[in-house]
Structure 1
Amino acid sequence: MKSLYNKFISFIHTIQGKIAFYPTLFSIAGFSFAILMLYLEKKGISAFVLEHVPQLVINNADTAKTLLSFLTGGIISIMVFSFSMVMVMLNQASSNFSPRVLPDLISNRSHQYILGIYLATILYNIFTLVGINPRETDKYQLPGFSVLIGIIFTVICLGAFLYFIHSISQAIQINNILDNIYGKAKERLESLLENESEKAPNFPDSSNWKTYYSSKTGYFQNVAINNLKDVCEDQGIQLKILPFQGMFVLQEIPIIQISKEIDNNLVKQVLSNFNFARGEFVEDNYVLAFKQITEIGIKAMSPGINDPGTALSTIDYLTELFAIRLKKNDRTIFTSKNSDPLIEITTVNFREILYQVMVSYRTYCKHDLSCIQKLFIMFKYLLLQEIHFPEYHDALIEEAKLLYEDTKQTITNATDLKRIEELYQSLPKQGHKQLKNKNSNTENII
């Protein structure tokens, strides 16, 4: 039962990013509430309200039908317009920033809630309209109270539409997009740091372990880790997950290694805890934030857009994310209650993340002195931060040297070259601050 619960929670977490998830829930709620109101109408709720507050109840069948029809048509028009605005926003974000930001924009919960309110109200009004019998002349038999609720829901839709216009105008602004990506990645990294032990236990060499292969194709999004821990403890096995999170996994490629051979049923049980998707979300994979922010910065430096200010902003956000990543271990190991290593998840190491980010900026921004200066300021800041491993410091120095060499070959102005030389020579090239040192000095960075 616990295993099914963990799988269900993992599945719900996977589909929450779909644009139809919350609208579907709201639609079911609207339909259910309409059925409930039809039941209450048969019990005489409208007659009760009419006797006590007659001003609130519509007691004419034609008026009620006309009003509900008009309101339903208006909400449908508003919903179509809202959907058109979403499509325009997605098209603009894809053209000006990066197609990778689309999943996060689509999964915006406030927009999903608003579309859900529209659908719920439309369904409620339709089924309330069906419940009106024009042949009934007795005002006590009309669902007047249900019509009143439909009017209230319509007013709520109008308010939601005004909020939607404000929200979507904010969502398309590049600063808000960057801040949203950064916030999700920071939250994910801090969550991983909280669950990370001070010293990762030694995990056995898995080179001679039995390898099992993927039965599905898609982006490796997440895994029900608690279920796998239970399986490992029950079966007395250790497990290594080979693809890193966010990697596109093809069918029949190695996906796990297990310390001993297991039967096919157990293999299926283990693999059933892996979730695959065709899209990626920063909430599940913080590395995607580095990719998205980098792509936005590089797109901003393209001749068609030519927006160095956005590129500089992306470097600021990357600087903060790298500072947090410096505190994290490159290995992710889950242990049993007795602190015995059970599962190792392959992760993208710091050196690789830094290289992939910098290779893009070195290629497309090395001709722009403002971006080069900002990158050297980033290196100087990061070299003064607390780090988990001394190798992180070496990686920063290596990337700073590559940036310096590429820039010297691109910029020919003597004054600019002197400025770059001064920035490079000002970097602290020796020593590092271990994570245990909580009094790092980050003054005089610029």
Structure 2
Amino acid sequence: MQQLYRILQTFMKQAVRSVAFLPVPMIVASVLLGFLFFWLENATSISKWTQDTFPALAITSQDTARTILGMFIGGLITLTVFTFSQIMILLNQVASSYSPRLLPKLTGDRALQFVMGLNLATIVLTITVLLSIRSSDDFKIPNFSILICTILGITCLCLFVYFVTAITKKIQVDSIVDASAQDTIDGLKDERDLGDAGYSDGSIPAGVRSWYPIMSPISGYLGVVNHRALSKLGHAYDTTFYIGVSKGQYVPEGQPLLQSKELLDEEQIDRVLTTVSPIRDQFDDWYLPNLKQLTEIALKAMSPGINDPGTAIMVIDRQTEVLIRMMDTPFHNYFRAKEGGDVWFVRHNFEDILAALMQEMRRYAKEDPLVVRALFQMLYHLLHRAGTSLAYTRSVLLEIRALLEDARSNIPNTRDRSLIARDIRVHRRAIHHLAQLKGRTYALREVNADAAQS
């Protein structure tokens, strides 16, 4: 059952990212709607009601009905072909200018899928109604069906204007950066909410390296793990599990995926793997892939072919917001379900994430003074936010030293170096000043508390 659930879960994630997620069901619905209209036209007097209610829209000639429906079919097919062509051009532009990993964000856009689905569904429904018109003297014109097709056709024309406006806005770099940053923030919020679901932080048990390994059955990426089911299996088998692969990490077939404190038989291992087995595809439905997408946009902007430092600076500003929120997010590494066993797992830590981000940014931006100044500003903002946390302070200071070393080696201009040195002095004074203000605030609070007690 767990294996079937994970297969369905992976299939749904792939489906919602596909551009055909809404169009295919809408086409099927239009076919069923065509049969429903055919039954209503023959079994009820709905067309007579339509003719009496909207006499100006009533059609009395079969040739006129066919002409109107054929006109809508031809026009909508042309409109749909143009829409698909424009989508392909825009997707190619996004892949070449920003990052190919951003394409699922556009193909999975519900508004885009709805417009395409409505165009195709209207074409299919109109063809169905057109085929239902019989060339006989006693045949009644399906005025109700023609009226619905006309309304849908006009709606498609109006939505085309919306589609052009919306898709043009969505491929603008600021919209793409905002969307990726917001997805990252939402992913961090989900991480914080895990604390209410039984997740917590703790020290990995001693001797975990000597536990029995369980090998990966396939080559793939570690996706969503059903920690609750794994915890219950741990209780049933009287063991403790440790997942030594972090989420999103690639695991070759036959390599250790997790470890069990007690030795398990093959049947038990198969049940355990149904809760944690890797998947073939990577998904961006959590915070780290979206943060990497932001970095890729900045790197693409700094490439010689594009050379757009303004976009890179905008990305750095959004990365600053994301990293500050990350400092406030607890990264859990332990879960225990009610009446379940202990499950430990590797977590992504702030130091590794910041180091990976800065390594890429320094590699491509170390010769651009404006971007280097923006990176220093980001790091000193993080240093201020680190506060009394020694781990965060140490991580940020290491990156400041690395960036300073690259700036000294790759920016030879005296004026640029002096401006960077001035920015660093300003940032340091600002941090020192804010620290003094906080100290005065805390001291004032203590004085007020003592006065209140007196």
Q: State the TM bucket, normalised to the shorter chain.
A: 0.7 to 0.9
Pairing 1:239–2:238 present = no
* Cα distance in 1 between the residues matched to 2:11 and 2:225: 10
Separation of aligned partners in 2, 1:227 and 1:7: 16
Change (3 A) 1:279 1:2: closer
Looking at structure 2, the residues matched to 237 and 114 of structure 1 have their Cα atoms a distance apart, in angstroms, of 52
Measured after TM superposition, the shift of residue 419 of structure 1 is: 3.0
Question: Which residue number corresponds to residue 363 of structure 2?
Answer: 363
Contact (CA 8 Å) 1:10, 1:223: kept in 2 or not? no
Code of the residue aligned with 1:193 in structure 2: it is: R
Change in 2 beyond 3 A, CA 1:31/1:421: same
- Counterparts in 2 of 1:272 and 1:31: CA distance versus 1, 3 Å: farther
Matched residue, 1:402: 402
Partner Cα separation in structure 2 for residue 318 and residue 125 of structure 1: 49
Distance in 2 between residues matched to 1:66 and 1:351, nearest whole Å: 68
2:201 maps to a residue whose letter is: A
- Offset at residue 115 of structure 1 (A): 1.2
Deviation at 1:212, TM superposition (A): 2.2
Runs of 5+ consecutive residues of structure 1 not aligned to the other structure: 441-446
* Distance across 2 between alignment mates of 1:238 and 1:23: 46
1:265-320 CA-partner distances (Å, limit 9, x unpaired): 44334433446243432xx2311122211111122112211111011001001101
Percent of residue pairs bearing the same amino acid type: 30
Paired residue for 1:259, among 254, 261, 281?
261
- The superposition leaves residues 202-223 of structure 1 with CA deviations (integer Å, 9 ceiling, x where unpaired) of 4535323332223333443433
Q: Which piece of structure 1 moves more, 150-159 or 229-238?
A: 229-238
Do the aligned partners of residues 227 and 50 (structure 1) sit closer, same or farther apart at CA in structure 2, a change above 3 Å counting? farther
- The answer on whether the counterparts of 1:58 and 1:148 sit within 8 Å (CA) in structure 2 is no
* One-letter identity of the residue aligned with 1:190: K
User: Structure 2: how far apart are the matches of 1:262 and 1:67?
Assistant: 71
The answer for the alignment partner of 1:390 in structure 2 is 390
Matching residue within 212, 215, 222 for 2:214: 212
Read off the aligned partner of 1:300 and give its amino acid letter.
Answer: A
Look up the SS of the partner of 1:181 in the other structure: helix
Report the equivalent of 2:344: 344
Q: 1:50 maps to which residue? A: 51
1:232 deviates by 4.0
Give the counterpart letter for 2:379 in structure 1.
Answer: F
Query: 1:28 corresponds to which residue?
Result: 28
**Which residue of structure 2 aligns with residue 39 of structure 1?**
39
SS of the counterpart of 2:210? coil
- Preserved contact between residue 326 and residue 387 of structure 1 (Cα < 8 Å): no
Structure-2 separation of matches of 1:128 and 1:299: 50
CA contact (8 A) 2:216 2:255 kept: yes
Partner of 1:323 in structure 2? 324
Deviation digits for residues 88-131 of structure 1 (CA, Å, limit 9, x no counterpart): 11111122112221222222221111111122212212222222
Q: Per the alignment, in what secondary structure is the counterpart of residue 385 of structure 1?
A: helix
Q: Is the 8 A contact 2:3 2:274 kept in 1?
A: no
C-alpha spacing 1:249/1:374, structure 2 compared with 1 (3 Å): same
CA distance in 1, matches of 2:266, 2:42: 57
Q: 1:178 & 1:74 partners in 2: Cα distance?
A: 36
**Deviation for aligned residue 1:49:** 2.9
Deviation at 1:201, TM superposition (A): 4.1
After TM superposition, give the deviation of residue 396 of structure 1 in Å: 0.5
Partner Cα separation in structure 2 for residue 262 and residue 38 of structure 1 = 62
Matched residue SS, 1:211: strand
Contact (CA 8 Å) 1:293, 1:314: kept in 2 or not? yes
What amino acid is the match of 1:410? N
Deviation at 1:55, TM superposition (A): 3.6
Q: Counterpart of 1:249?
A: 251
The answer to whether the 8 A contact 2:200-2:335 is kept is: no
Indicate the SS of the match to 1:302: coil
Residue 136 of structure 1 and its aligned partner are, at CA, apart by 5.0
Whole-angstrom distance in 2 between the partners of 1:294 and 1:359: 11
Please name the residue that 2:157 is paired with: 158
Q: Provide structure 2 residue ranges, at least 5 long, that are not aligned to the other structure.
A: 443-454
Structure with the higher helix share, 1 or 2: 2
More displaced 10-residue stretch of structure 1: 260-269 or 112-121: 260-269
Contact 2:232/2:341 (8 A) holds in 1 = no
Task: Give the counterpart letter for 1:404 in structure 2.
Answer: L
Greater alpha carbon shift after TM alignment, 102-111 vs 196-205:
196-205
Which letter does structure 1 place at the counterpart of 2:21? F
Return 415-424 or 195-204, whichever deviates more. 195-204
Equivalences for 1:7-156 in 2 at 5 Å? 8=8, 11-44=11-44, 45-135=46-136, 137-139=138-140, 142-156=141-155
CA RMSD, Structure 1 to Structure 2 (Å) = 3.0
- More displaced, 105-114 or 267-276? 267-276
Q: Normalising by structure 2, report the TM-score.
A: 0.85
Partner of 1:377: 377
Q: Do the aligned partners of 1:103 and 1:280 also contact (CA within 8 Å) in 2? A: no
Q: CA deviation at 1:403?
A: 0.4
1:276 corresponds to which letter in structure 2?
A: I
Q: Distance in 1 between matches of 2:189 and 2:311?
A: 26
1:152 CA drift (Å): 1.2
| TM-score, L = length of structure 1 | 0.86
Q: Secondary structure at the match of 1:223?
A: coil
Aligned CA distance change for structure 1 residues 30 and 63 (closer, same or farther; 3 Å) = same
Change in Cα spacing, 1:57 to 1:97, as seen in structure 2 (3 Å) is same
Aligned to 2:281: 278
Counterpart of 1:272 in 2: which secondary structure?
helix
Deviations for 1:351-388, whole angstroms, at most 9, x for unmatched residues? Answer: 11111111112122111111111111111111122579
Q: Is the 8 A contact 2:245 2:257 kept in 1?
A: yes
Between stretches 258-267 and 75-84, larger displacement belongs to 258-267
- Alpha-carbon distance between aligned partners in 2 of 1:155 and 1:134, rounded to the nearest angstrom: 27
Q: 1:312 to 1:33 in 2, by over 3 A?
A: same
Matched-pair contact (CA < 8 Å) for 1:221–1:277: no
Cα distance per residue 1:41-84 (max 9 Å; x no partner): 22222234334444444343222222222212221211111111
Residues 114 and 232 of structure 1: CA distance in aligned 2, closer, same or farther (over 3 Å):
farther
Distance in 2 (CA, whole Å) between partners of 1:269 and 1:341 is 15
The residue aligned with 1:305 is: 306
Rg larger for? 2
Instruction: Write the distance in 2 (CA, Å) between the matches of 1:158 and 1:78.
Output: 8
Name the structure 2 match of 1:443.
none
